[in-house]
Amino acid sequence: MAKSQSIIQEFPFWFTQRAESRLIFLYGEERTKDLMNRLLDRMQHFSVPKAQPLPEYWNEQDVILITYGDNIRQTDAKPLATLYEFSLLHLKDCINSIHVLPYFPFSSDDGFAVIDYKTVDPQLGDWRDIERIAQDFSLMTDLVINHVSRENLWFIDYLSHKKPACDYFIELPENTDVSSVVRPRSTPVLVPAHTHQGVRYVWATFGEDQIDVNFANPDVLFEFIDILLLYIEKGSRFIRLDAVAFLWKKLDTRCINLRETHEVVKLLRDIVDLIAPDTVLITETNVPNGENLSYFGNSDEAHMVYQFTLPPLLLHALYQGNSDYLTRWAKDMPRPQKNCTYLNFIASHDGIGLRPAEGILPEQEVKVLVDAMHEYGGYVSTRTGLDGRPAPYEINIALFDALKGTSLGLDQWQIQRFICAHTIMISLQGIPAIYINSLIATANDYHGVEQSGKTRSINRHKWEYSELMDLLNNPHSPNAIIFHEFKRLLSIRRRQAAFHPDSAQETLSASPALFSFWRTSPDHRQRILVVSNITPQRQTMTLPNHPRPEGSGLWRDLIERTAINKNTAELILYPYQTAWLEALD
């Protein structure tokens, strides 16, 4: 029997059939036999699990912390060790997962221009530090799959015309028409590279130090499969596919969300489903809502997609004191397919994306919001639209400062408004992710912007451990008030089956001053009515009919730990108060 046939027989038929069909679509039938052998060779050292039921990917206890490896630093320890210590001492009871943003050697963009995918940045620590975090928390790792740093050895080999990496990049004439390409930036698509053969122009979606790789070359695909397998071996449970929507390029198309891109994601899903079935793939696609949801495929693509539309809509609702657009969007959101869910967030290392609000928020509403964020000390980055004109792309601001006021002006409700925003976020269907600089109520970092020259640095503050602990130990500081309230809310949330990611969600049409929805546990034993007052005025809500009128009919507010009789017609909510009303028998 031929060696290739014996290798194939070691793998389940469903896997070889799917992988083969995807490779045929991507690279053609003639090349697929050899490509299949290469793929299976790479996977052979993994123990292929026997057929078994899929594990439960997630439950109500899952909460993710988003952080750089060095967001908290101290002089006598490596930052990854400090992160582990802080998380273990202060977060273990309320957060079980940590997304460590790119922890590899890099040249720019705070980690997203990767020099070496297989090495931990020695300024942060080493693989032992990463594996230690992965032992006590579910670890999320970025697979920066669209581009590499100019200092990456692949690109160095391209400049020197060395095989195989000299064929890893997209080289085009300088005057190539790329006007149909959808842009996330205002920089040129093609940037000069000074090679040993003279000046060449290469594709760079995000900027001249982030050179796109060419997935039309299958060698590139296999490089990233190797990297994916390494991250799984090192303990990563969540794999975040960074900027994946831009992965495949074809001239005379928009070069975003192409079918080839979806097929690559599906192939990666096939691989993890086989060798590590508890691994979760997450697509990071900062695009309009419908395009974002397409990365679920037919339950055969991403396990999770980022809820990119939530941050601008929730910020808008709290600024205007009006939930109409947020409610309309939430009502229209489909329930995720089997083994799929949303990753909910309202702040991250990046800004608040505006493209995901396209078609939902009118342009005038976006303009008003952008102008307000300027007044609150923020910046707005732009991209080049298809008409060649600059268009707002994202708001760069610390979320704590973004919520310091409303359309009525600055007020005394910043802390309450900030807590309200996060309480809504952690209540929605999906898994919540909280950015570390939101968890500790960090304000705009203008010094960081001045040092880096990048507006995104406004929300990427680095804390000295001792300074941070002084603030968190001061019960009167906004940092401590918010930090401890977030921990309390998360601890309550993690005990409620109705907040399981698979729990149903039904959005209600209440007053524009309120945002409300039901969450019902998968076994229907628990129902929670979430009601948030998104205004600085006291509001009342007529309670809906109790779902269990034959019982006691009591409502219990899980946040305030109070009971409400079913005969009480109205719920009173103070400014920015949220109630989690559990319907009791």
Examine the fold and report which residue of 33, 52, 71 is the final residue of a domain before the chain moves on.
52
Write the secondary structure of 496-558 as one string of H (helix), E (strand) and C (coil): CHHHCCCCEEEECCCCCCEEEEEEECCCCCCEEEEEEECCCCCEEEECCCCCCCCCCCCEEEC
Known binding-site residues for substrate equal: 109, 147, 240-242, 349-350, 456
How many domains, in total, are found in the chain?
3
Contacting residues for 409 by C-beta, under 8 A, at least 6 apart: none
Structure confidence at residue 196 as a pLDDT band (50, 70, 90): very high
Answer whether residue 212 is part of any domain: yes
Is residue 220 domain-shared with residue 89, that is, in the same domain? yes
Structure confidence at residue 388 as a pLDDT band (50, 70, 90): confident
Is residue 210 domain-shared with residue 66, that is, in the same domain? yes
The mean pLDDT of the chain is 94
Report d(CA 7, CA 269) in Å as an integer: 20
Answer whether residue 390 is part of any domain: no
Examine the fold and report which residue of 254, 281, 302 is the final residue of a domain before the chain moves on.
254
pTM: 0.95
Residue 128 belongs to domain spanning: 61-254
Examine the fold and report which residue of 206, 233, 254 is the final residue of a domain before the chain moves on.
254
115, two tokens: 């020099």
Pairing of β 97-100 and β 138-144? parallel
Closest CA to 300 of 325, 319, 283, 318: 283
Catalytically annotated residues: 242
Structure confidence at residue 293 as a pLDDT band (50, 70, 90): very high
Q: Alpha-carbon Rg of the chain, whole angstroms?
A: 24
Answer whether residue 521 is part of any domain: yes
Range 335-342 average pLDDT? 94
pLDDT of 48 reads 46
Is residue 77 domain-shared with residue 30, that is, in the same domain? no
Answer whether residue 479 is part of any domain: no
Is residue 123 domain-shared with residue 3, that is, in the same domain? no
Per residue in 295-327, pLDDT (tens digit) is 999 999 999 999 999 999 999 999 999 999 999
Is residue 114 domain-shared with residue 27, that is, in the same domain? no
Is residue 18 domain-shared with residue 90, that is, in the same domain? no
Is residue 19 domain-shared with residue 123, that is, in the same domain? no
Higher pLDDT, 294 or 554: 294
Answer whether residue 490 is part of any domain: no
Per residue in 3-55, pLDDT (tens digit) is 455 556 678 999 999 999 999 999 999 999 999 999 999 888 775 444 455 66
Answer whether residue 151 is part of any domain: yes
> Which CATH number do you get for residue 523?
2.60.40.1180
pLDDT of 51 reads 45
Is residue 35 domain-shared with residue 184, that is, in the same domain? no
pLDDT above 60: residue 578: yes
Is residue 189 domain-shared with residue 94, that is, in the same domain? yes
Per residue in 527-536, pLDDT (tens digit) is 999 999 999 9
Answer whether residue 391 is part of any domain: no
Is residue 229 domain-shared with residue 85, that is, in the same domain? yes
> Which CATH number do you get for residue 82?
3.20.20.80
pLDDT of 3 reads 46
Would you tell me the crossing angle of helices 13-27 and 259-275 to the nearest 10 degrees?
Answer: 160
Per residue in 441-493, pLDDT (tens digit) is 999 999 999 999 999 999 999 999 999 999 999 999 999 999 999 999 999 99
| Other CB atoms within 10 Å distance of the CB of residue 242 | 20
pLDDT above 80: residue 285: yes
Per residue in 394-412, pLDDT (tens digit) is 999 999 999 999 999 999 9
Is residue 40 domain-shared with residue 119, that is, in the same domain? no
pLDDT of 543 reads 86
Ordered alpha helix ranges (H), 296-452: 310-320, 324-332, 363-375, 399-402, 414-427, 436-439, 446-452
Range 351-380 average pLDDT? 96
Range 125-143 average pLDDT? 98
- What pairs with residue 12 in β-bridges? none
Geometric angle at alpha carbon 238, from 234 and 241, rounded to 5°: 105
Is residue 70 domain-shared with residue 209, that is, in the same domain? yes
Answer whether residue 301 is part of any domain: no
Structure confidence at residue 564 as a pLDDT band (50, 70, 90): confident
Dihedral sign for Cα atoms in the order 386, 390, 391, 396: positive
